[in-house]
Amino acid sequence: MNPATETRLRVRYAETDQMGVVYYANYLIWMEAGRVDLCKACGFNYRDIEREDGIFFAVAEATCRYRSPARFDDEVIVKTWVEDANARIVTFAYEMRLAEDDRVLATGTTRHIFVSSAMQRTRLPQKYHAMLGITQRL
Amino acid sequence: MNPATETRLRVRYAETDQMGVVYYANYLIWMEAGRVDLCKACGFNYRDIEREDGIFFAVAEATCRYRSPARFDDEVIVKTWVEDANARIVTFAYEMRLAEDDRVLATGTTRHIFVSSAMQRTRLPQKYHAMLGITQRL
Amino acid sequence: MNPATETRLRVRYAETDQMGVVYYANYLIWMEAGRVDLCKACGFNYRDIEREDGIFFAVAEATCRYRSPARFDDEVIVKTWVEDANARIVTFAYEMRLAEDDRVLATGTTRHIFVSSAMQRTRLPQKYHAMLGITQRL
Amino acid sequence: MNPATETRLRVRYAETDQMGVVYYANYLIWMEAGRVDLCKACGFNYRDIEREDGIFFAVAEATCRYRSPARFDDEVIVKTWVEDANARIVTFAYEMRLAEDDRVLATGTTRHIFVSSAMQRTRLPQKYHAMLGITQRL
C-alpha cells in the first residue's frame, strides 16, 4: 500500500484574485506540488523519470471541488495519494485542508497517462510499478 | 435559449511548461475568459455584477478533460455555453479547439454558486435570470 | 528602422489579486505577448527560431515601472519596440496603456541574450539581423 | 538595522516553460514570498497591515537580473532585505540562490509606495516605522 503524503505550502499574494480568495486554477498547481512529494515518498523523483526514462505523466483529466476559500498567507496542507494505477494510467487524489483548523478547502483528482517525449502513449517502466502500487494482473 | 460564444486567444510562452505544452491549470484560466465573454453575449458584464450587485460567481467545482496538447503560439478557440442554471447555481460548459484544424484540445465544466462579498450563499437577482436562461419553476 | 507593434489584450480575472488590481508579475507576461507580436512584425516567428534554429532569447534583465493600476476586464495595449540589438543581445522596450483613455499603466524593458538549447551563449544567425535592425559594425 | 530573511521554496512544474527553465515572471512571485517573510521577521504580518490599517504596499517599480536558470524541483533560497525606507516608500532587495550549491540565480529590487484601499498615496503609520528601520529625519 502506498502512503499518503502531506505537503505544506503558504498561500501567495499572487494566488489571490479580486474576490479576496485564492483563484480556482491555483489549486491544480498545489495538486502538482502534492504529487511531486508523493512520488518522492514512493521512492522516485518525477524529475528523474522525465530525464532518465523519457516518461511524462500527461494529465488526461482533472477535477476539483471547492469547499471553503483559502486566503493570502494561509498555511495549506495538501494530502495526496494514489487512487488507482496500472501500467498505462495513474490517478492521484487530493485533499487540501487549512493547517490552522483542519477545515477542508478542496478535494480533487488528476488522471495521467504515461507518454514519451514525443507525446506517444507508452507503458510505465516495470521498475516503477511497485512504487506506485501496481501489482501484476494475472 | 442562450447562445454559445467563441473566444479566441493565443497561447502565451508563460503558459507552457517544460513538457513543451500548455500547463494543465491554464485551461481553467481560458475557461474564465470564455465565461466572461459568454456573460457579455448574455447581456451583462461580470465585472458589473460584482461592482453593482455585490454578487460573485464562486467556483464550486471544475472539471477538465485534456484531449490533445496546446502549444506556444497556437490560436485557441474557447466555446462556452450555459449547461444549467437556476437562482442558486450556474454550470458553464466549455470546448477548447485549435483554430488551425479544429482539433479538440479539451472539454470542461465549471459549476458556480452565487455568493455575497462576505462569501454567503445568495440568489442571483431576478433581472439576470432571463439572461442566463433561468425560467420560472412553478 | 523597426516598427513598434501594438498588442491588445483583455485583463483576466486570474491576473488580479486581492488588492483589486493586476498583480505586478503579470505585466512581464504581457511584455512577452508584445515581443512575440513584434517578432512577427519584424518578419519571423519566435516559435520558429526556437524550433528551426535552436536559438532561445534568454531573459537577462527585466524592469517595469508601474504608473497606474490595470483592473479586471480592462483592455490593455502593449506597445513594443526594439530599443537596442546586436548579434549577442537584444533589448525590447514596452509601454502599456489603457485602451479606454490612453492612460499609461506601465513601462518596461527586457534584455535578452541569445542562447543554444544547452543554454550556452551564442550569436543570432545572420539572416535575422536585418529583421531586428542589426547593422554591420565596421 | 533590519535583518535579512531567507525563504526556501521548491520550484514548481507550473513555473517552468518550454525552455526547460523557470519562466522569468515567476521570480517576481518569489520576491513577494521573500518580502512577506521579511515583514514577519520585522515584526508584522503584511496581511494584517492590509486588513487592520487599510494600507497596501503598491509596487511602483520592479527590476530583476537573471544570472543562472532555475529548474523544476530545485530548492531556491530567497534572501530579502530592506534597501531603503521612509514614510512614503520602501525598497526591498532580493538575492535568489540555488540551495544545492549557492549559485546566484537572480537579484532584484521592488520599490513600493504606501496607498489606501482607494489607491491614494498615504504615509506608513508611525507604529511600523521602526520595524522597517525608518528613523526620524530631523
ipTM of the complex: 0.95
Contact between chains at D61 and C66 (C-beta distance less than 8 A): yes
The kind and range of the H/E element at B70 are none
Residue of B nearest to D26 (CA): B14
Residue A78 pLDDT class (50, 70, 90 cuts): very high
Contact partners for chain A, using 3 or more CB pairs closer than 8 A, are B, C, D
Q: Is the pTM of this model over 0.95?
A: yes
Q: Classify residue D36 by burial, with Cβ atoms within 10 Å: 0-12, 13-18, 19+.
A: buried
Catalytic residues of B: 17
pLDDT at position C135 is 82
Q: Report residue A75 as a C-alpha cell.
A: 498555511
pLDDT at position B79 is 98
Instruction: Please name which of A131, D61, A120 lies closest in space to residue C106, comparing C-alpha atoms.
Output: D61
pLDDT at position C1 is 53
Interface A-B, measured as beta-carbon pairs within 8 A, has a size of: 58
Residue of D nearest to C115 (CA): D19
Inform me whether the pLDDT recorded for A2 exceeds 70: no
Q: Report residue B60 as a C-alpha cell.
A: 464550486
CA D26 and chain centroid, separation: 13
pLDDT at position B135 is 82
Higher pLDDT, C137 or D116: D116
Contact between chains at A66 and B60 (C-beta distance less than 8 A): yes
Q: What residue spans of chain C are helical by DSSP H?
A: 26-42, 46-48
User: Does residue D102 sit in helix, strand or coil?
Assistant: coil
Q: Is D37 a catalytic residue?
A: no
Residue A135 pLDDT class (50, 70, 90 cuts): confident
Inform me whether the pLDDT recorded for C33 exceeds 70: yes
Residue D43 zone, left/alpha/beta (φ > 0; ψ -120 to 50; rest): left
Tell me the C-alpha distance between B60 and D62, whole Å. Answer: 35
Instruction: Please name which of C127, C31, C38 lies closest in space to residue C76, comparing C-alpha atoms.
Output: C31
Q: Is C133 in contact with C85 (CB distance < 8 Å)?
A: yes
Rg, chain D, Cα only = 16
Residue D104 pLDDT class (50, 70, 90 cuts): very high
> Which parts of chain B have pLDDT scores under 70?
1-2, 136-138
| Sequence letter at residue B5 | T
HEC letters along chain A: CCCCEEEEEECCHHHECCCCCECCCHHHHHHHHHHHHHHHHHCCCHHHHHHHHCCEEEEEEEEEEECCCCCCCCEEEEEEEEEEECCCEEEEEEEEEECCCCCEEEEEEEEEEEECCCCCECCCCHHHCHHHCCCCCC
Inform me whether the pLDDT recorded for A73 exceeds 70: yes
Q: Classify residue D33 by burial, with Cβ atoms within 10 Å: 0-12, 13-18, 19+.
A: buried
Inform me whether the pLDDT recorded for C138 exceeds 80: no
Residues 70-89 of A with CB under 8 A from D: 72-73
Q: Is A123 in contact with A115 (CB distance < 8 Å)?
A: no
Q: Give the pLDDT confidence of C73-130 residue by residue, as tens digits.
A: 999 999 999 999 999 999 999 999 999 999 999 999 999 999 998 899 999 999 999 9
Tell me the C-alpha distance between C19 and C23, whole Å. Answer: 8
DSSP single-letter state for residue D42: H
Contact partners for chain C, using 3 or more CB pairs closer than 8 A, are A, B, D
From A12's Cα to the closest Cα of chain D, the distance in A is: 7
Residue D47: how many other CB atoms lie within 10 Å: 18
Q: Which of C23, C28, C71, C74 best probes binding to A when mutated, by most A CB atoms within 10 angstroms?
A: C23
Residues 10-39 of A with CB under 8 A from D: 10, 12-14, 29, 32-33, 36
Contact between chains at B72 and D25 (C-beta distance less than 8 A): no
Q: Classify residue A85 by burial, with Cβ atoms within 10 Å: 0-12, 13-18, 19+.
A: buried
Q: Which of A15, A28, A116 best probes binding to B when mutated, by most B CB atoms within 10 angstroms?
A: A28
Phi, psi of A118 (to 5 degrees): -90, 10
Average pLDDT over residues D26-52: 96
Inform me whether the pLDDT recorded for C2 exceeds 80: no
pLDDT at position A138 is 53
Average pLDDT over residues A61-77: 98
Interface A-D, measured as beta-carbon pairs within 8 A, has a size of: 30
Q: Give the pLDDT confidence of A91-132 residue by residue, as tens digits.
A: 999 999 999 999 999 999 999 999 998 899 999 999 999 999
